[in-house]
Amino acid sequence: MNKKWQIYDIEEKEVERISHKYNINKLLASIILNRKIKEKDIEVFLNPTRKNFHNPFLMPDMNIAVERIIEAISNKEKIIIYGDYDVDGITSITVLKSFLEDRGIQVNQYIPNRLKEGYGLNKKAIDEIVKNKYNLMITVDCGISAIEEVEYANLLGLKTIITDHHEVGDKLPNAIAIVDAKRKDNKYPCRDLAGVGVVFKLIQAIGIKLGLDEKEYLKYLDIVCIGTISDIVPLVDENRVIAKLGLMLVQQTKNMGLKSLLLSSGYKNIDSNTISFGVAPRINACGRMGHAEEALKLFLSKNIYEVNELTKKLNEYNSLRQEKEKSIYEDAIKQIEEKKLDEKNAIIIGGENWHHGVIGIVSSKITELYFKPSILLCFEDDLAKGSGRSIPGFDLHEALMKCQDTIDKFGGHAMAIGITIKKDKFEEFSKEFETITKQSKIEEIIPIINIDAKINLSEISKEIVESLKQLEPFGEGNKTPIFAFKNLKIDSIRALSEGKHIKMTLKEENTVINAIGFNLGYLADEYIIGDKIDVVGTLEINSFNGVDNLQINIKDVMKSI
């Protein structure tokens, strides 16, 4: 698929100035300017400290929430935390429960079962909570849209404090306090905290109010960091402070469960990639397979035997998730090829016995493979339930707003949705959605690769590549820097892993560099030794048998002009 390469414009004088002022190399300076980081924020971006956290009391209703929770602690009230089954939800519960129990009050939790209850508050859960005589419920990573459910809780005498980070509707629930930086009356500087980030601000505020030493809330930054990176919020502003300081704490974590999970993931270095691809999938697998409580137990356990057993279970759930994901993916690809769905503007497919917990992941892979919006639906009785993913430039949520005559219910945002339709409406919905995507001229949307700089191989050194680590952690809002290399000669080329990946050595005058391209094995049939190519990719140091070699991790290739 053709991709558009877009190199940032660089003002050499500004690069020189920033490089000199902050004592960094010019490549780093140019990347910082590409990121549109304001000059007043550059020092904090490069070297955040605990002093760079914003005042938690600037957040809506924070003071009300803090006063009510302190009152509950004083009166030894029965408190329950209502959370979510993903990494953000699990880490949110872990942090709030641990902090409150350190204050000498027993706190319980309720996590809805993803497969049976779905996301957020529900009335049956509230009945169960009231039956067990809880009188204060604190939501984490959910609750902002639970208008009816909070009203129902009020009728039963259960008071609610909401902490959330999702978008706010036209109406707010009738709760004691609603702590969410996305409220319309928000004055908090960072709107994009994860759910666990909001919880961190809550315990920080309680700590300040109670006059606690700051280590009493800062000690949870390792867990807060895990939830923040996993929830793919922009790693800028306060999220960057959380992630950067948190990763330092993760390296020496005292949380037995987290330490065990890190060891079992097999990653040598502890960085944002380790969290995103080693830790997060194992925790999320619990929720996807309907066992979210197991992940929570792992983070809370102080028993090494239990920790080892739970880690083993998480790995097993992750393996099971991978098997189911592979099966659905293969089934989906087969349908796409047989029905030539890749020729349409959007891909909508359904299947019997597809697992609810993993079809969102498969939808992401289908969208990435074909660069088209996709919706995958699982047929159950007379309903079809599923998930959808979109591409930059096409608002999936807005498109579904135009299909409400064929949809039972849906929710989400521009890039990801959850959806339920009647099974007998499947064909009608598919045609209606295809018409909308066609009207949107979706075929004209071309994937763009934003390139930080064009550089020559002779300019690369181990020191330059090492310096890029100052920009870590990488993630949403702060992507790994991508570079363009022009007019390189292929010195060697071969496919790896049964044709799945590509391995090359590339030459520019007297400089040779290794290059690896994951899922780009087809290039072995398109290019030969001696061809001149342009490459975009990231720079890394590949350590093998104690020897460090510079390497380009290829993202795209085209023939040199």
The pLDDT tens digits for 457-481 are 999 999 999 999 999 999 988 999 9
Quick count: other Cβ atoms within 10 Å of Cβ 106? 10
Confidence of residue 113 (pLDDT cuts 50, 70, 90): confident
Contacts of 469 (CB under 8 A, 6+ apart): none
Average pLDDT over residues 521-536: 94
Mean pLDDT for the chain? 93
Summarize pLDDT for 274-317 with one digit per residue, the tens. Answer: 999 999 999 999 988 889 999 999 999 999 999 999 999 999 99
At the second CATH level, the architecture of 450-559 is: Beta Barrel (2.40)
pLDDT score, position 1 = 65
Q: What percent of the chain has pLDDT over 90?
A: 81
Q: Please name the helix (run of DSSP H) or strand (run of DSSP E) that holds residue 98, with its range, or none.
A: helix 87-102
243 touches 237 (CB < 8 A): no
What's the pLDDT tens digit per position in 41-74? Answer: 999 999 999 999 999 999 999 999 999 999 999 9
- Kindly state the percentage of the chain with pLDDT values over 70: 100
The model's pLDDT over 390-416, given as tens digits with 9 standing for 90+, comes to: 999 899 988 998 988 899 888 777 888
Q: 181: pLDDT confidence band, cut at 50, 70 and 90?
A: very high
Integer CA distances (angstroms), 165 to 99, 145, 162, 245, in order: 20, 11, 10, 21
Q: Inter-axis angle of helices 195-210 and 221-230, to 10 degrees?
A: 160
pLDDT value, residue 530 = 95
Render pLDDT for 9-34 as a digit per residue (tens, 0 to 9).
888 999 999 999 999 999 999 999 99
Residue 415: the pLDDT is 87
Question: What predicted TM-score, i.e. pTM, was given to this entire model?
Answer: 0.89
Q: How many residues does the chain have?
A: 561
pLDDT surpassing 90 at residue 166: no
The CATH number fitting domain 53-221, selected from 3.90.1640.30, 1.10.10.10, 3.40.50.720, 3.90.330.10: 3.90.1640.30
What is the third-level CATH fold of 340-444? Diaminopimelate Epimerase; Chain A, domain 1 (3.10.310)
CB-side neighbour CA atoms (13 Å) of 459? 12
Categorize the per-residue pLDDT at 372 as very low, low, confident or very high, splitting at 50, 70 and 90.
very high
pLDDT at residue number 104: 92
Domains 53-221 and 340-444 equal at CATH topology level: no
**Domain ranges, ordered by start, for the chain:** 53-221, 340-444, 450-559
Gap between the Cα atoms of 141 and 482, Å rounded: 33
Cα(177)–Cα(280) distance, integer angstroms? 30
Amino acid identity of residue 109, one-letter, is Q
Q: Which residue has the tokens 């309903």?
A: 383
Mean pLDDT to the nearest integer, 195-215: 97
